[in-house]
């Protein structure tokens, strides 16, 4: 598991962040009274459990009841309803899928960038030392947008036609988008302004631990090392990452009974807010 030491949100960090965000999104979704989507999600969950029971001899193979309870109770004080527990079970593979986004050839230290073109787009980083931050940002935002769109399409088809294959395919795209969203809030991947969380720089991984610091956008302090920033900003950024991740999950879920346009509008609002950059602000300020 060599990846652990390389990642700002560690392997477990991604898993835990996704679990908490899912729990929060599910409890917010349950309050919306979206009965059509809710009942369809439960039907898909029932189909999954039946398949697992047939294949494995026990219903609901996967996380235990206790694990699911803990997972939801971490994010809310009221005990989860049966429906929420079933939704948590339905989405229980997502944290692992989010973690697995880190396993690819382009993530091998030193050689990855030559093996895979633009290998760091999914990690919200510069792929090459000379990649401008603006380019890195645009590519990662497009990556998030594409995967969210495919997530919504697959899950929308899944819910409306009770097509579990389409639904699962959509959920996989959701995991891809969530990984990049989470990475964008890691102090080892981007520099975000304290308080506003505006993106000020995007790093090139091999530069993040060096004394000279990464190639920077505009004036910034010399890079003090990965650990320094993670410790200093960890709690603030971790909290923001959780809210952002939950927001995007909720945005997909609550719009499964809407037209694509409604989903895309809400989704692009969230993209504007979460990936607002200093260079965009500079553009807006120039008459
Ligand atoms: Zn990553």
Distance 12 CA to ligand 1 centre (A): 12
User: What pLDDT does residue 50 have?
Assistant: 73
Q: Are 134 and 202 in contact, with CB atoms under 8 Å apart? A: no
φ and ψ of 201, to 5 deg: -160, 155
User: What pLDDT does residue 163 have?
Assistant: 96
Buried b (16+ CB within 10 A) or exposed e, 176-188: bbbbbbbbbbbbb
User: What pLDDT does residue 14 have?
Assistant: 85
Listed as ranges, residues in the chain with pLDDT below 70 are 1-12, 51-78, 208-234
Distance 7 CA to ligand 1 centre (A): 7
Distance 212 CA to ligand 1 centre (A): 23
Distance 114 CA to ligand 1 centre (A): 18
Cα–Cα separations (whole angstroms), residue 192 to 77, 120, 186, 207: 31, 18, 9, 17
User: What pLDDT does residue 104 have?
Assistant: 81
Distance 144 CA to ligand 1 centre (A): 13
Q: Are 250 and 22 in contact, with CB atoms under 8 Å apart? A: no
User: What pLDDT does residue 219 have?
Assistant: 39
Distance 48 CA to ligand 1 centre (A): 29
Distance 39 CA to ligand 1 centre (A): 34
User: What pLDDT does residue 3 have?
Assistant: 34
Distance 244 CA to ligand 1 centre (A): 16
Distance 110 CA to ligand 1 centre (A): 16
Distance 180 CA to ligand 1 centre (A): 6
Query: What string of DSSP letters covers 219-281?
Result: S-PPP--HHHHHHHHHHHHHHHHHHHHHHHHHHHHHTTTS-HHHHHHHHHHHHHHHT-BHHHH
Distance 179 CA to ligand 1 centre (A): 6
Distance 224 CA to ligand 1 centre (A): 21
Distance 116 CA to ligand 1 centre (A): 15
Distance 30 CA to ligand 1 centre (A): 30
Distance 14 CA to ligand 1 centre (A): 9
pLDDT in tens, 125-140: 999 889 999 999 999 9
Distance 33 CA to ligand 1 centre (A): 34
User: What pLDDT does residue 102 have?
Assistant: 83
pTM attached to this predicted model: 0.83
Distance 141 CA to ligand 1 centre (A): 14
Distance 103 CA to ligand 1 centre (A): 9
Distance 96 CA to ligand 1 centre (A): 13
């Amino acid at each position: 598991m060599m990846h652990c030491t390389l990642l700002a949100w560690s392997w477990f960090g991604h898993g835990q962040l996704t679990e908490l965000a899912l729990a929060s999104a599910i409890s917010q979704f349950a309050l919306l009274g979206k009965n059509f989507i809710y009942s369809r999600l439960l039907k898909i969950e029932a189909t999954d459990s039946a398949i697992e029971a047939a294949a494995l001899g026990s219903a609901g193979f996967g996380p235990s009841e206790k694990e699911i309870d803990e997972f939801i109770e971490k994010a809310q004080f009221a005990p989860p309803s049966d429906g929420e527990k079933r939704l948590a079970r339905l989405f229980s593979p997502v944290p692992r899928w989010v973690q697995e986004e880190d396993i690819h050839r382009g993530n091998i230290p030193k050689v990855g960038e030559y093996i895979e073109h633009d290998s760091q787009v999914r990690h919200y980083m510069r792929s090459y030392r000379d990649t401008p931050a603006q380019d890195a940002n645009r590519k990662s935002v497009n990556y998030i947008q594409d995967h969210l769109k495919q997530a919504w399409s697959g899950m929308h088809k899944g819910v409306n036609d009770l097509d579990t294959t389409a639904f699962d395919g959509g959920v996989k795209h959701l995991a891809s988008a969530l990984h990049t969203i989470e990475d964008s809030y890691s102090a080892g991947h981007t520099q975000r302004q304290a308080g506003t969380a505006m993106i000020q720089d995007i790093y090139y991984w091999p530069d993040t631990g060096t004394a000279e610091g990464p190639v920077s956008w505009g004036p910034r302090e010399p890079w003090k090392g990965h650990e320094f920033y993670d410790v200093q900003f960890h709690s603030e950024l971790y909290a923001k990452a959780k809210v952002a991740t939950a927001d995007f999950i909720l945005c997909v879920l609550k719009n499964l009974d809407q037209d694509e346009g409604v989903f895309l509008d809400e989704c692009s609002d969230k993209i504007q807010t979460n990936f607002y950059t200093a260079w965009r602000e500079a553009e807006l300020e120039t008459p």
